Amino acid sequence: MKFIVTSSELLKHLQSVSGVLASNNTLPILDNFLFEIEKDALTISASDLETTMITRLPVKSEETGAIAVPARIVLDYLKTLPEQPLTFTVDETSLGIEISSSYGKSKVAGYSADEFPRNPEMEEASSVSVPAEVLSEAIHKTIFATGNDDLRPVMSGIYCEFSNEGLRFVATDAHKLVRYTRSDSKADKNSTFIIPKKPLNLLKGALSSTSAQVSLEFNTSNVKISFDDTVLIARLIDGKYPNYEAVIPKDNPNKMLVERTALLGSIRRVSIFSNKTTHQVRLRISGSELSVSAEDLDFANEANERLTCSYEGEDMEIGFNSRFLIDMLNNLNTPDVQLQLSAPNRAGILVPMESENEGEDILMLVMPVMLNT
C-alpha cells in the first residue's frame, strides 16, 4: 500500500484530531492513528473509546487499505519537516511503514487496523443542522461553567435541549450556571442529551475555522457531529440533568446596570487582596455607587474601589466568589451588563444589556457566598 501526501497538510489534519489521544490509554492501539486509504483520499481516526475524531484529506494513491500508525513519533517527525511531498509505503505483511522525504527514508512499525476500535452505529438517530457559528458560540459561552466533580458526572458536560422553538445549552457546577438559547436555529422534534466536556473542547477548536453547516445526529447513547472534512463521535453522559430552571430566581427587583469592562477590571484588582480560600469580593450597592471590596484578615490585606452604576432597588451588600464573576464577565462581550438581585442570600443573575447575535438569549447565574460580618 502506497500513497503520496504533502507534509504540512498531513500535519495539520493529524494535529486537528490529536487532542483525542489520551496519555494513559488502557489499550496500546489507542496510541495510534488509524490511516484508511481509499483511492485518492486518506481518512485519519483517533480514539480514546469515549470520543473518536475523524478527518479526511486528498492524497495521491491508486490503492485501498488500512493501518494503525504510531501517533507520537509521526507527529514529532512531521513537525521537523519543511513543506514537501512525502511517500508512505506500507508492507502489508510485516506492517512496516517507510516514509520517504527529500532528506531520506524513515521506518516505523505499524499495527493491524483490525485492532482499532470500530465506530458505533448511529441507530434510531435524530438529527439537526446548525450553523457552525451558532454551535461555536454556544460552546464558548457555556463550557466554562461545567463542573469537574466525578460524583456528579452529569454536571461535567453541556445539557442540550433541542425543540421546534429553538436550541438551548445549559452548563452548571452548582456554584454558577449558564443558560444559552438560540431562537434562530430549531430542531424538528424535542430531544435532550448531555455532551461531555472533552469532545466539546475539541469541537470548539475545530469550529473556529469554518462557516459550514454542522450536522448533529444523536440517539440515547452517542452523538455524531459532522462538518467539512471532520467527524466527531462521542458517547453521551448517561443520567438525569438537574432541574436548572428551579434554581433561577424569577423575581429580582434590584437591578444594577454597569459597564462590563469597568466591573471586570475592578474585581480583578480587588480580588488580589481577597482570602485565598474563599476568593470573596463584597459588592455594596447604594444609589448610583457600587463599592467593590475584599479583605484577607489572616494577612491584613484589603482593597476597596468605587464605580458608578445605574441602580434600581434597595441598598444591598452581597458577597461572591471573584473567580466566578471574572469567568462570567469574560464570556460576555457587550459594553454593559445588568446584575439582577433579590436578596443577599439568593443567587445573582448576570445578563448582557444587548444580544451579540440575533436570536441569542443568555443568562448567567452565580451563587452568593456568606459575608464575614
DSSP string, 81-132: PPS-EEEEEE-TTT-EEEEEETTEEEEEE-B-GGGSPPPPP-TT-EEEEEEH
Who wins on pLDDT, 357 or 283?
283
pLDDT given at position 355: 82
CA dist 276 and 293 (Å) reads 14
Please give the C-alpha separations between residue 255 and each of 92, 268, 284, 338, in angstroms, as whole numbers: 70, 22, 13, 7
CA dist 334 and 162 (Å) reads 26
Residue 236's pLDDT band (boundaries 50, 70, 90)? very high
pTM of the model: 0.92
Residue 357's pLDDT band (boundaries 50, 70, 90)? confident
- What share of the chain in percent tops pLDDT 70? 99
CA dist 138 and 361 (Å) reads 10
Architecture of domain 2-115: Roll (3.10)
pLDDT tens sequence across 142-194:
999 999 988 899 999 999 999 999 999 999 999 999 999 999 998 888 999 99
The third-level CATH classification (topology) of the domain covering 248-369 is: DNA Polymerase III; Chain A, domain 2 (3.10.150)
Question: What is the amino acid identity at position 40?
Answer: D
Residue 370's pLDDT band (boundaries 50, 70, 90)? confident
Whether residue 371 has pLDDT greater than 90: no
CA dist 106 and 77 (Å) reads 9
The answer to whether the 126-244 and 248-369 domains have the same CATH topology is: yes
pLDDT given at position 150: 85
Specify the 3-state DSSP secondary structure of 13: helix
Average pLDDT over residues 353-367: 92
pLDDT given at position 25: 84
Contact 363, 288 (CB under 8 A): no
Who wins on pLDDT, 150 or 222?
222
pLDDT given at position 372: 67
pLDDT given at position 196: 96
pLDDT given at position 136: 95
Residue 356's pLDDT band (boundaries 50, 70, 90)? confident
Ranges of each domain in the chain: 2-115, 126-244, 248-369
Please give the C-alpha separations between residue 359 and each of 61, 154, 196, 273, 356, in angstroms, as whole numbers: 46, 27, 25, 40, 9
Whether residue 10 has pLDDT greater than 70: yes
Residue 373's pLDDT band (boundaries 50, 70, 90)? low
Under CATH, domain 126-244 is a member of which superfamily? DNA Polymerase III, subunit A, domain 2 (3.10.150.10)
pLDDT given at position 329: 97
Q: For the chain, give me the number of helices (H) and strands (E)?
A: 6, 26
The mean pLDDT of the chain is 95
